[in-house]
Structure 1
Amino acid sequence: LEISPEGTIRPDNLSPIYVNGLSIKEAEQKIITRLGQIYNGLKGDPPTIFFQVSLGNVRTVNVSVVGEVNQPGNYSLTSLSTVFTSLYAAGGPTEQGTFRNVQLVRNGKLEATIDLYDFLINGIQDNNLRVKSGDVIIVRPYESRVELDGEVKRPGYYEILEGETFSELLDFAGGFTNTAYKALVTARRNGLKEREVVDVNASDFDTFRPKDGDVFEITPILDRYKNRVQIDGAVYREGEYELTPGLTLKQLIEKADGLRGDVFMTRATVYRMNEDFSQDVIPVDLAQLMNGTIPDITLMREDIVSISSIYSLREEYIVQISGEVLEGGVYPFFRQMTVQDLIVLAGGLTEGASGAMVEISRRNKNPSLNTMAEIITLQIDKSLSLSTEDRNELLQPFDQIYIRKTPGYTIQQQVTVEGEVIAPGTYSISRKDERISDILKRAQGLTTYAYPEGAILVRRTEFSSAKSNDEISQEYLQQLRSKLLSDESALKNISQTRLIERLNKIQNKVAPDNEADVVGSRIRRENIQDIQEQDSLIRDVEIKEEEPTVLDLMKILDAPGSKYDFIVKEGDVISIPSKLETVRIAGEVISPLNVRFDETFNFKDYINDAGGFTSTAKKGRSYIQYPNGRRKQTKRFLFFKFYPKVEPGSTIFVSRKPEREGIGPSGWISIGTGLATFGLVTIQAIRLIENN
């Protein structure tokens, strides 16, 4: 059965049943009652006939929402819609709209007045009536609104109806916060000519009636204590305590669980705030106070007792270790501390400490001596340990320990040989004076396809960010650690577990291979930067991390150890190209291109192959760059130009003439003005001469 447009259903053998305006439950009960007149099984116990009412398509109703709403207009809503859902569809009241006097007009008459606060604050929906087609919801401007600010749970603007009190307003705002001053509330009120302040006592909250425009300020309680004293320093329980009647300094110390062992007994200080907020400082001999030889001090509100520690009155005792240890740095000093203790704290010695010296630098406490520090020297043997006597050398506060590197001990440094050598690859530098010829000899010489004239040496500059050997070693150790952690069987092996612990200890340790080299490199880098900043001509020159160096490889191979045979350094790359068969022509030529090298061609022949010079070419500035990076410029003598020799793999580059700026209108005006001025001066001079 379906409900007709008139709101009825028509069962067979029964008169129409009117269900319009009923809820689902009410309609179901009414229909069962009527159908039970024919079907007795509906009312049986248990029933043998069953009946169910379900909601299918819901009809729509047209409702108008007007006045102070964000989106006034006509809305098609379901027949189940209410006043609240209608307001929601219209975007709710505006800032000027009322929440307390929403009117529902039906058939031209006022059907109901809805107070939205009942729902928003108390959750009451008694006035949330269902709307019908043709209903009009009117939201008028508010009539009386006040502001509640400060220590309330929901500060903001609230509408007040006639007869409502401040207590009800406070309920709207959720009440006071736990830090609110509740004894007195201040209201700022608008008078006829000026504003006024009204004090509202707590006893008047239930009778005081707010007015439109009132602003209520709820202030917090004072940030002060009426019975507090404080103690800090060398006691076991620093903090705040209750000031009980007659509480003395000695009793407060007992409340704080007494004095610590590091207490400075000669003096304690009581800071007292007077009524006029001036401060008194009361010194106390703590030893005499605790012995009872001086009278105890009665404390007052907000007294602060400060008891110093012997350590807070002197410089913190530390020792420092650096050099060939895993974790160099500053460590706290303790009594009977030995060199061995500090080395253990620093993670132990590195391999580079084998056979090295240990220096202890100690502060000079004798001002009559002409020494700045006392130096004590110890020796480390090849097993990375100190002798029994040296191991037990007692340290003193502020000692500085230097673990020197073994003389001659260095970490491997590598150079790379690439290109046309028989055995290219990375080679460790075996001697400090090892040269390019030595490395090439270890690389078994050049191949038959090598082009020695194009060989270059790429060397790091002061600005290189390449990783040091120590940093690379750290990466390898980190990879080993990650591999062990991912292996479940390794985690069950005691020896490998201890290895992981050692790797964890040193994974963040990255030290420079040679501290002096690092400082020197930094100073050279800063010098270059200073020159750049001071010289505008080279300010825009690009600073590179690596730069090529031209090699004369044939002279190196013919005369090993000569001035052409450079000593290699870490990170060097010796690059030897294959034989080259082309020449590149670029710049201000008609058709830039690459051509095959021809021994019979000279510089001009290659230019002609590229179509010749352009009209903007600066012929005298043409140059050639050889494969090894060396450049040669075109030379001039009188009216003759001498072009450089061309070799395989070279690049010929023709420069452009600089552009000349034409004279614009402002330039011509300046020239004209100058000529006119010159003419006037000349005429005046002639007149003066004639007059004389």
Structure 2
Amino acid sequence: MKKIVVILVLLLALFKPNTAVAQDLLKSTDLSTLKVDYLSDTDIAKIKSQLQTNNVTIDQAEPMALAKGMSATEFAKLKIRLGGTTMVKSTTVKTENIEDDQPELTRKQEKIVNKKVKDTLNSLVFGSELFDNPTLNFEPASKLATPVNYILGPGDELQVSVYGVQEYNASVPVSLEGKVTIQYVGQIPVSGMTIEAATQKIKGAIARVYSTVRSGQSQVGISLSRIRTIKITIIGSKQPGNYSVSSLSSVYNALFLGGGPSKNGSYRNIELLRNNKVFKKIDIYNFLVNGNQSDNIGLKDNDVIRIPAYIQRVTVEGQVKRPGIFEMKSGETFKDLINFASGFNEFAYTASVNVLQKTSKDFKVKDIKASEYGIYKPLAGDVYRVSKILNRFENRIKIEGAVFRPDTYSFYEGMRISDLVNQADGLKEDAYTNRATIVRLKSNLTTEVVNVNLAAALAGDEASDVALSKEDVVTVYSILDFKEDYKITIDGEIKKPGVYDYHDKLTLNDLLIQAGGLTGSASKRVEIARMTKSETIDDANPNKVELYNLEITADTNEQTKNFTLSPFDVVNIRRMAVYEKPQMVKISGAVNYTGKYVLVQKQEKIYDIIQRAGGLTSVADLNGVKIKRPIQAKQIEDLENVNLNLGKKDSIQNKLEKKLKEDLKFATIPVDWNKIVKNPNSNTNVTLFAGDEIEVATYNESVKITGNVLLTSEIPYDKGKGFGYYLNSVGGTDAKGWRKKAYIIYPNGKAGVSKSFLFIRSYPKVLPGSQIVVPEKPETRKMSTGEWVSIGTVLTSLALLIVTAFK
């Protein structure tokens, strides 16, 4: 028996240091004796609570624990147990009804979900938009401090913490009997008490058990960690029924969940019933108009929110800031109604408002004067129409034209035209003072014109200083308005030809400088054409204009006499008789010196250029000389202007134009070099144009056969063989080949085609470097059996007709 007692004492001695260390991991000075395997789940939970209270992570506590003698092996065990242990009395008790994504320090409550439906039926009712907006739900914030007057009840959960010399941390729920159970303290009734009163009661009960709490060495903290759910009922809303809400929820939050008042529900006489009595009447307009939430009181279990039908609604239309349908209480006036509508807008006619009223039989119209706004009491069904102010002015007058400040000014009685001109900072220098006009609006809204001698009016002549009326429009003319807009034209060898403005005393030299000066090709001759002016017609003079021929110095852009120009003159700068820039051609291929050459003579021949290029080389093909001439834009334009009478839908001409524009960039001119050598004056010695390119082919001892043949190939040239030999050498034509239309392209670009005479077909001669092309046969449609039958029928009918005719 003694041995058993000794063993128990030793075990207690070993366990107590571990427990003491577990209760204060951070404050302990010696952790060398701590054995994690001997710690219970409750001890691990206390360590975790201690770390959370001090806002320290396990990784941050590691260096401190190792410094106090704890081995790395034991700390690794502790870290594993802290990461995988479920705390029985911890604050984080997760259920399906608790938000999992909230931080640990956030108060827990059940998630309340309500799908909002856009109210299109009551969209014009003032206040309906309050319950359509999903971001405005009046949901109580779980992160705020608990209200001191919060009443505890079954379902709430308290977080009780003792810290200091002694430590204790647990989450204690309020039972159905309204009590909380604290270890070693017992059961404490808290239901029906405020959180403040319950805190004092629990502190007193703990102090009776924990001596360090009585002495002040330990402190007690109590907070609300979980909020209970209460049941309420909403009647008369868009979505009436029973709702489970947080015990911190308010009336507005419940109304939002219910979708707000129904179609005929009141927004101003909502009743909160508690214990079968009207506890509070809610007027939502206090919040909508003034932002006053005094009616937004907290709810209790089994509260009923009743939304009765409205008693009186009116409609406001037109020029108010918030038109719509408004609910009115007894005793409220039209001034209150305008306040609900946020007042008149800036275009409203506020002197009176038209109202459409309903009687027991029909409608009637009434006007409410501004003086009656504070005493007139709206009736159910009234429709108020706030009209717009008139688009007219009571004191407007306008001046425009040659004054320094043309604008609209205010009119006053006795105002004269001199007063208005002075108000506009006077006349401009170009003002025409002999006459100004006033366009005046008469009483019947027609207009009339009043003429004024402005010079006399400003000089003090009372008769000329006309009295003005409101809505007058005064126009002061400018002498520039009567001046014609003169132009002058310059063309020819000038850098910026065009039409320029004419100014008095404009000279030819001035115009030349304004137009950028002469070009390098300008001659000294200038021709000026001037319009003729006469009051009578002179039939003896056939000229339409007068011509002036002048001479200028092209180097200085100046004219000796400096000719003075007149309006609408046309100046032409002539081009020099001889002014041509050097033009070049290009030669490539089998010549001694390829490259570009300038055309020296006006009629430079191909023979001359080849001779300048050193003549043909020894490998040159004498039958392979050709000229590639660029197709000019004018050639395409001439083709477009030619009518081939092919019809609008025929595409032949369109294809030809497209080919010239996009595909063919050069026209090939074949050259017979042997003929030129024998006779340089031969017509094949072509005159060259700028941009021409001479190509001299290298001698090629083969013949190329392409097109619709069995084998596209090059066959060595055999002097004694003809056209058929080369076609047979590649296997002849294929099924689509058109042999009789085969042609040959010679090295100089010239083409040769086959010919026939009396059923005898002759083919062109083949030369080295030539290319034989076999085109494709055109597709032909075979006649059907029906067509042959039709032809036979026609022939039979003709035969019968002939036989009948000769009988």
Query: 2:17 maps to which residue?
Result: none
Number of aligned residues: 598
Query: 1:598 maps to which residue?
Result: 717
Counterpart CA distance in 2 for 1:88 and 1:426 is 91
Verify: 1:375 aligned to 2:544, yes or no.
no
Verify: 1:389 aligned to 2:561, yes or no.
yes
Specify the code of the residue in structure 1 equivalent to 2:553. D
Verify: 1:660 aligned to 2:660, yes or no.
no
Specify the code of the residue in structure 2 equivalent to 1:224. R
Query: 2:412 maps to which residue?
Result: 244
Query: 2:577 maps to which residue?
Result: 407
- Of 447, 452, 460, the residue aligned with 2:631 is 460
Verify: 1:313 aligned to 2:495, yes or no.
no
Counterpart CA distance in 2 for 1:593 and 1:133 is 101
Farther-moved stretch of structure 1 (361-370 vs 237-246): 361-370
Is the CA contact 1:435–1:568 (under 8 Å) kept in the aligned structure 2?
Answer: yes
Q: Secondary structure at the match of 1:181?
A: coil
| 1:590-625 alpha-carbon deviations (Å, 9 max, x no partner) | x46243453465444444455444445544444445
Query: 2:656 maps to which residue?
Result: 541
Is the CA contact 2:315–2:326 (under 8 Å) kept in the aligned structure 1?
Answer: no
Is the CA contact 2:625–2:748 (under 8 Å) kept in the aligned structure 1?
Answer: yes
Is the CA contact 2:91–2:170 (under 8 Å) kept in the aligned structure 1?
Answer: no
Counterpart CA distance in 2 for 1:462 and 1:198 is 83
Query: 2:391 maps to which residue?
Result: 223
Specify the code of the residue in structure 2 equivalent to 1:459. P
Q: 1:8 to 1:358 in 2, by over 3 A?
A: same
Query: 1:8 maps to which residue?
Result: 158
Query: 1:497 maps to which residue?
Result: none
Once the two structures are TM-superposed, the CA of residue 316 in structure 1 deviates from its matched residue by 0.4
TM-score, normalized by length of structure 1? Answer: 0.64
Q: Secondary structure at the match of 2:575?
A: coil
Once the two structures are TM-superposed, the CA of residue 224 in structure 1 deviates from its matched residue by 2.5
Specify the code of the residue in structure 2 equivalent to 1:160. F
Q: 1:293 to 1:80 in 2, by over 3 A?
A: closer
Is the CA contact 1:150–1:219 (under 8 Å) kept in the aligned structure 2?
Answer: yes
Query: 1:517 maps to which residue?
Result: none
Farther-moved stretch of structure 1 (530-539 vs 133-142): 133-142
Q: Which has the higher contact order (CA 8 A, sep 6+)?
A: 1
Q: Secondary structure at the match of 2:672?
A: helix
Q: 1:399 to 1:98 in 2, by over 3 A?
A: farther
Verify: 1:279 aligned to 2:400, yes or no.
no
Q: 1:549 to 1:150 in 2, by over 3 A?
A: farther
- Of 497, 505, 524, the residue aligned with 1:356 is 524
Q: 1:332 to 1:639 in 2, by over 3 A?
A: same
Q: Secondary structure at the match of 1:11?
A: strand
Specify the code of the residue in structure 2 equivalent to 1:303. D
Counterpart CA distance in 2 for 1:389 and 1:661 is 86
Once the two structures are TM-superposed, the CA of residue 225 in structure 1 deviates from its matched residue by 2.2
Counterpart CA distance in 1 for 2:272 and 2:249 is 15
Verify: 1:585 aligned to 2:706, yes or no.
yes
Stretches of structure 2 lacking an aligned partner (at least 5 in a row): 1-48, 50-89, 94-155, 175-194
Q: 1:340 to 1:604 in 2, by over 3 A?
A: same
Q: 1:612 to 1:405 in 2, by over 3 A?
A: same
- Of 757, 771, 780, the residue aligned with 1:637 is 757
- The aligned runs of 1:9-408 (5 Å cut-off) are 9-12=159-162, 151=319, 158=324, 160-161=326-327, 163=329, 175-184=343-352, 209=378, 219-287=387-455, 289-290=457-458, 292=461, 295-353=464-522, 355-366=523-534, 368=538, 369-381=541-553, 383-390=555-562, 393-408=563-578
Is the CA contact 1:624–1:650 (under 8 Å) kept in the aligned structure 2?
Answer: yes
Counterpart CA distance in 2 for 1:626 and 1:290 is 97
Stretches of structure 1 lacking an aligned partner (at least 5 in a row): 21-25, 464-520, 687-692
Q: Secondary structure at the match of 1:307?
A: strand
Once the two structures are TM-superposed, the CA of residue 256 in structure 1 deviates from its matched residue by 2.8
Q: 1:14 to 1:347 in 2, by over 3 A?
A: same
Counterpart CA distance in 2 for 1:141 and 1:253 is 67
Is the CA contact 1:63–1:77 (under 8 Å) kept in the aligned structure 2?
Answer: yes
| 1:303-360 alpha-carbon deviations (Å, 9 max, x no partner) | 222333333224202223233333332322222222222222223333333x532333
RMSD: 6.3
Counterpart CA distance in 1 for 2:544 and 2:342 is 73
Once the two structures are TM-superposed, the CA of residue 257 in structure 1 deviates from its matched residue by 3.1
Q: Secondary structure at the match of 2:656?
A: coil
Is the CA contact 2:585–2:693 (under 8 Å) kept in the aligned structure 1?
Answer: yes
Is the CA contact 1:325–1:346 (under 8 Å) kept in the aligned structure 2?
Answer: yes
| 1:13-56 alpha-carbon deviations (Å, 9 max, x no partner) | 66967699xxxxx99x979x969978999x99xx999999999x
Counterpart CA distance in 2 for 1:122 and 1:373 is 86
Specify the code of the residue in structure 2 equivalent to 1:377. N
Counterpart CA distance in 2 for 1:388 and 1:272 is 58
Q: 1:289 to 1:81 in 2, by over 3 A?
A: same
Counterpart CA distance in 2 for 1:113 and 1:437 is 117
Q: Secondary structure at the match of 1:655?
A: coil
Q: 1:3 to 1:151 in 2, by over 3 A?
A: same
Counterpart CA distance in 2 for 1:455 and 1:76 is 101
Specify the code of the residue in structure 2 equivalent to 1:593. T
Q: Secondary structure at the match of 1:340?
A: helix
Counterpart CA distance in 2 for 1:356 and 1:168 is 92
Query: 2:139 maps to which residue?
Result: none
Specify the code of the residue in structure 1 equivalent to 2:159. I
Is the CA contact 2:488–2:568 (under 8 Å) kept in the aligned structure 1?
Answer: yes
Once the two structures are TM-superposed, the CA of residue 459 in structure 1 deviates from its matched residue by 1.3
Is the CA contact 1:99–1:117 (under 8 Å) kept in the aligned structure 2?
Answer: no
Once the two structures are TM-superposed, the CA of residue 240 in structure 1 deviates from its matched residue by 2.0
Percent identity between matched residues is 28
Q: 1:612 to 1:251 in 2, by over 3 A?
A: same
Once the two structures are TM-superposed, the CA of residue 280 in structure 1 deviates from its matched residue by 1.7
Query: 2:106 maps to which residue?
Result: none
Is the CA contact 2:587–2:693 (under 8 Å) kept in the aligned structure 1?
Answer: yes
- Of 641, 664, 668, the residue aligned with 1:527 is 641
Farther-moved stretch of structure 1 (234-243 vs 291-300): 291-300
Q: Secondary structure at the match of 1:312?
A: helix
Counterpart CA distance in 2 for 1:66 and 1:443 is 111
Q: 1:346 to 1:657 in 2, by over 3 A?
A: closer
Q: 1:10 to 1:432 in 2, by over 3 A?
A: farther
Once the two structures are TM-superposed, the CA of residue 660 in structure 1 deviates from its matched residue by 1.8
Q: 1:370 to 1:542 in 2, by over 3 A?
A: closer
Specify the code of the residue in structure 2 equivalent to 1:371. N
Counterpart CA distance in 1 for 2:373 and 2:755 is 104
Counterpart CA distance in 2 for 1:649 and 1:62 is 106
Once the two structures are TM-superposed, the CA of residue 652 in structure 1 deviates from its matched residue by 0.8
Q: Secondary structure at the match of 2:409?
A: strand
Counterpart CA distance in 2 for 1:346 and 1:597 is 67
- The aligned runs of 1:414-433 (5 Å cut-off) are 414-433=584-603
Farther-moved stretch of structure 1 (93-102 vs 325-334): 93-102
- The aligned runs of 1:602-681 (5 Å cut-off) are 602-626=722-746, 630-647=750-767, 648=769, 650=771, 652-660=773-781
